[in-house]
């Protein structure tokens, strides 16, 4: 069984970060370990104010020390929301300690959406996040985060060529694979574009666009993509699966959009995801 560790906060209410990544990646048949970076009463996105925030940075080296003593190894390390520059440095050390030649490191540089930074982040944090991205095999920014990492202006819509250019510019940070999430080059389509610096290839995967902003879709997308890579899927398959699953979650949310304004209803979609990944695993074992 493949094993992944995901490092991100636990927002007790709001179905994002760990409370989304853990069920999704587990459903894919990947053993999922977690390092909670902070405990928040809710996520910090639009609609919530007055949330609590308990920083767990000091626990991370202690967890790492214990895991080293018991010899834990991971096929994938996937980082999401990180609360401070200091925490970024601690996580970089964790990656240095646990990365092997067979570990894939995926960094979702969670910093904002829809042209706005999430509460509590600033330019210093962007610089710090860039240094974490430099350690990754693969980064998954949305277009807001890509603009922050590149120091360019956010634009609501960019053509596919413009998005590819941004991806190529992001290679200079040092990671081989860049996946631009929430890519919507025209009003009818939404999905993701992957660029591979090693072979110069671009690959796009789109679904029909559903208008509106849906919180937590970035975390769900990154969870499925990371789980897929941990299972050994090729980049195209992992990208197609992530785009399709995220789209299904948004579709499942539409009938209860008013009450689920803070996230998406991924729960009814987990069964199909589990079946698809089990079929992928069985098929792979036949070769
Ligand atoms: O979904 C990304 C995310 C994760 N964790 C926390 C957040 C957000 C986005 O708002 O606030 C705490």
Tens of pLDDT, residue by residue over 226-239, are: 999 999 999 999 99
pLDDT at 284: 81
Specify the ligand 1 atom closest to the Cα of 45: 10
Task: Give per-residue pLDDT as tens, 165-194.
Answer: 999 999 999 999 999 999 999 999 999 999
Angle between helices 217-231 and 270-285 (to 10 degrees): 20
- CA distance to 36, 159, 272, 273, per residue, from 27 (Å): 19, 35, 9, 7
pLDDT at 74: 98
- CA distance to 26, 138, 224, 227, per residue, from 127 (Å): 32, 18, 27, 27
What's the length of the chain?
287
pLDDT at 12: 98
The residue whose CA is least distant from atom 10 of ligand 1 is: 45
Q: Report the pLDDT averaged over residues 197-217.
A: 97
11 CB within 6 A, ligand 1: yes
Specify the ligand 1 atom closest to the Cα of 219: 1
CATH number of the CATH domain containing 262: 3.40.1190.20
User: Which range of residues forms the domain containing residue 100?
Assistant: 3-286
| pLDDT band of 287, cuts 50, 70, 90 | low
What is d(CA 216, CA 204) in angstroms, rounded to the nearest whole number? 21
What's the predicted TM-score (pTM) here?
A: 0.98
104 φ, ψ (degrees, to nearest 5): -100, 135
pLDDT at 283: 87
Task: Give per-residue pLDDT as tens, 238-259.
Answer: 999 999 999 999 999 999 999 9
Residue 195 has pLDDT above 80, yes or no: yes
121 CB within 6 A, ligand 1: no
17 CB within 6 A, ligand 1: yes
What percent of the chain is predicted at pLDDT more than 70? 99
Residue 286 has pLDDT above 80, yes or no: no
Choose which residue among 6, 10, 13, 17 to substitute to test ligand 1 binding: the one with the highest number of ligand atoms within 8 A of its C-beta.
17
Task: Give per-residue pLDDT as tens, 117-164.
Answer: 999 999 999 999 999 999 999 999 999 999 999 999 999 999 999 999
Q: Give the CA-trace dihedral at 117, 122, 124, 128, to 10 degrees.
A: -30
pLDDT at 17: 98
Residue 200 has pLDDT above 90, yes or no: yes
User: What is the H or E stretch that residue 33 is in?
Assistant: strand 31-42
Domain count, the chain: 1
């Amino acid at each position: 069984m493949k094993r992944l560790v995901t490092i991100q906060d636990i927002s007790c209410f709001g179905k994002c970060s760990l409370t989304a990544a853990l069920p999704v990646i587990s459903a894919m048949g990947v053993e999922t370990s977690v390092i909670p970076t902070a405990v928040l009463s809710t996520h910090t996105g639009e609609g919530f104010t007055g949330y609590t925030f308990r920083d767990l940075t000091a626990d991370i080296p202690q967890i790492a020390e214990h895991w080293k003593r018991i010899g834990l190894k991971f096929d994938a390390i996937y980082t999401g929301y990180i609360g401070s520059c200091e925490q970024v440095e601690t996580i970089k050390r964790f990656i240095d300690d646990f990365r092997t030649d067979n570990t894939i490191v995926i960094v979702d540089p969670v910093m904002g959406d829809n042209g706005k930074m999430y509460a509590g982040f600033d330019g210093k944090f962007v610089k710090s996040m860039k240094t974490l991205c430099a350690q990754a095999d693969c980064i998954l920014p949305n277009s807001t985060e890509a603009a922050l990492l590149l120091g360019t202006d956010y634009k609501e819509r960019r053509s596919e060529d413009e998005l590819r250019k941004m991806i190529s510019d992001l290679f200079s940070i040092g990671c081989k694979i860049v996946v631009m999430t929430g890519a919507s080059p025209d009003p009818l389509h939404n999905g993701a574009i992957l660029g591979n610096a090693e072979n110069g290839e671009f690959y796009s995967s789109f679904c029909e666009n559903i208008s509106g902003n849906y919180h937590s879709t970035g975390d769900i997308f990154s969870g499925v993509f990371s789980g897929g890579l941990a299972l050994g899927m090729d980049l195209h398959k992992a990208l197609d699966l992530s785009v399709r699953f995220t789209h299904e979650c948004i579709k499942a949310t539409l009938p209860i959009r008013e009450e689920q304004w803070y996230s998406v209803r991924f729960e009814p979609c987990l069964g199909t995801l589990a079946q698809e990944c089990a079929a992928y695993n069985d098929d792979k074992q036949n070769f």
